[in-house]
Structure 1
Amino acid sequence: MMHFERHGSGKPLLLVHGLGSSLRTWDPIMPALTAERDVIAVDLPGFGKTRPLIGTVTVGTLADAVERFIHTEGLNGIDLAGSSMGARIVLELARRGHSGATVSLDPGGFWNDGQRRVFGASITASVALVRAIRPALPFLTRSAVGRTALLAQFSAKPWQLDPSLVLTELEGFSNSPSLDEARRSLIEGPVQQGAPEGSLAGTVVIGWGRKDRVTVPSQAATAQKRFPDAKLHWFDECGHFPHWDQPEQTARLILASTS
């Protein structure tokens, strides 16, 4: 069973976080979303407050877990929004035939071999660094300089981020039991499969930050080729997490795309 929080009222909307993260990643846009929607934010297995899966952890098995959660909770056809690895998971569910609207923010899985190697090396180094300096994280995240040094890879303006959000996110890199397996799956596993034209049961919107240093903007063209029915939305002055760097625009996009 996945831990989740549910707030607001209206048409249901499910939020799926990324690697090493938790449902807390959505805090910057939660007030705007819950003002109009019944929002359900989950902790993926092995992240946040949810126990790990029994068996292998891959992007596919995590997507299976979200699919089971949707069925168990009676949420068939719910609208979906995901970030990073979670963005890839919701795209995978759309590819499998999920009928709700889908918003995918800077998804992984669309890299070429060289980009995959760069991603693997950089994310592995980032995780190792955060784990090595974990005792100092509360101090470092309180300063704009510290946040900038720690999150320059992920945000276009890390100095502006809320210190508690940054601390929670970075601590997830240290204490998420499924992070290493999920990271290896992203690096070593298959790329994201696509959905041929006319095969999607619901609408799909893919959002991409123009300054994303994790899933670089050139990968958006590959994503569109594999999902030709998807609409692409660009976020200016934005890194890997639009809901951090452009929260108002991100909330508007999710609400408009899933209305």
Structure 2
Amino acid sequence: MDMHHIRRGAGNPLLLVHGIGGSWRSWNTILDTLAAEREVIAVDLPGHGDTPPLPGENSIGTFADALTDFLTRHNLLGIDAVGSSMGARLVLEMARRGGSLGAVVSLDPGGFWEGWEIPVFYHSVAVSVKLVKALQPVMPALMSSAVGRTVLLPQFSARPWAVDARQARDEMYTFAHTPVFDELLDQLAHGEVQKPAPRGSITAPLVIGWGRHDRVCFPAQAQRALAKFPDARLHWFEHCGHFPQWDVPAEAARLILAVTSGEDWEAALAAPAAATPATAPGRLAIAAGIGAVLAVAVVLLRRRRDQAA
């Protein structure tokens, strides 16, 4: 199938693959930086953004088929690729299959949960999305506030108050308006387990990046990912949650550009770029924000219940 996508910049093409409930806009925090050196192609996966859902099952396997078809249609087979979350799992699967991608950067891939981690992932994200849907009428205002972001985004960011407000608004909107979200969440938690790629089967550069404070895909899962993809190398993002492009955009962009350009990415990241940490909201402000969000959520949920009755 064809997919809605945007193309920016010039140079060797670079594919960007967003996570569950996202869109091409999920990359806005680093899109300009990447496009300054590469031709960036950012897609809307099936059932996301402006791309319609697949007619049958929506899963990692069917998405890999659809994305391979997209690359074939646009003469992009062998393109370097970056994926985030579900998209990170997707580019790993495509690398395992071979023939469609070049160098790959996989940022906090889902799909390496075990035991108790599976219900924790499934139910925590399911509850978060229900809350996001209930709060849609006031979500723009909440995401414009550092306190609102601190209250609603700690599962996804190590420094939620510092997340770009526009990025947060866009992501919370697409989370609530992705028709295949529930199906994909169930597939990620309970669907087919990621197949391994034998050592030596992936010859192009492959780097898995992981946030030390990821609360969606816990850091211990990184070793499981490496066990299934022994040709991969691991980069830890310090002071980072589930989305490096949110928490450490400069470092994420440097890693992506270095790996996909065939450079010594460890040397490129040896001297971190200087950054001034954003000041966290005070405890009283956070407590007040939590109270306000919960109050609004209760009112909206009651209104929905009354309308349904």
TM range (shorter): over 0.9
Aligned partners of 2:164 and 2:246 also within 8 Å = no
Aligned partner letter, 1:209: G
- How far apart are the structure 1 equivalents of 2:53 and 2:90? 17
SS at match of 1:27: helix
Q: Percent identity?
A: 56
Q: Which has the larger radius of gyration?
A: 2
1:74 is aligned to 2:75: yes
- How far apart are the structure 1 equivalents of 2:147 and 2:201? 47
SS at match of 1:5: strand
Aligned partners of 2:111 and 2:194 also within 8 Å = yes
Aligned partner letter, 1:237: H
1:108-145 per-position Cα deviation (integer Å, ceiling 9, x unaligned): 11111211111011011111111111111011111101
- How far apart are the structure 2 equivalents of 1:181 and 1:67? 21
1:35-91 per-position Cα deviation (integer Å, ceiling 9, x unaligned): 110100000010011111111111111111111111111001000100000000000
- How far apart are the structure 2 equivalents of 1:225 and 1:101? 19
2:248 alignment partner, one of 220, 238, 246: 246
Comparing 11-20 with 52-61, which one deviates more in the overlay? 52-61
* Structure 1 counterpart of 2:35: 34
SS at match of 1:67: helix
- How far apart are the structure 2 equivalents of 1:202 and 1:99? 9
1:170-208 per-position Cα deviation (integer Å, ceiling 9, x unaligned): 111111111111111011102211101001142210000
SS at match of 1:41: strand
What TM-score results when the alignment is normalised by the length of structure 1? 0.98
After TM superposition, where is structure 1 displaced by more than 3 Å over at least 4 residues in a row?
A: none
- How far apart are the structure 2 equivalents of 1:168 and 1:245? 16
What TM-score results when the alignment is normalised by the length of structure 2? 0.82
1:199 alignment partner, one of 179, 198, 201: 201
Give the unaligned 5+ runs of structure 1.
none
CA RMSD across the alignment: 0.9
Residues 34-73 of structure 1 aligned to structure 2 (within 5 Å): 34-73=35-74
**Would you say how many aligned residue pairs link Structure 1 and Structure 2?**
259
- Tell me: higher relative CO, structure 1 or 2? Use CA pairs within 8 A at least 6 residues apart: 1
Give the unaligned 5+ runs of structure 2.
262-309
Aligned partners of 2:8 and 2:35 also within 8 Å = yes
SS at match of 1:101: strand
Aligned partner letter, 2:189: I
Aligned partner letter, 1:227: F
Aligned partners of 1:111 and 1:191 also within 8 Å = no
- How far apart are the structure 2 equivalents of 1:91 and 1:15? 13
Residues 58-207 of structure 1 aligned to structure 2 (within 5 Å): 58-97=59-98, 98-207=100-209
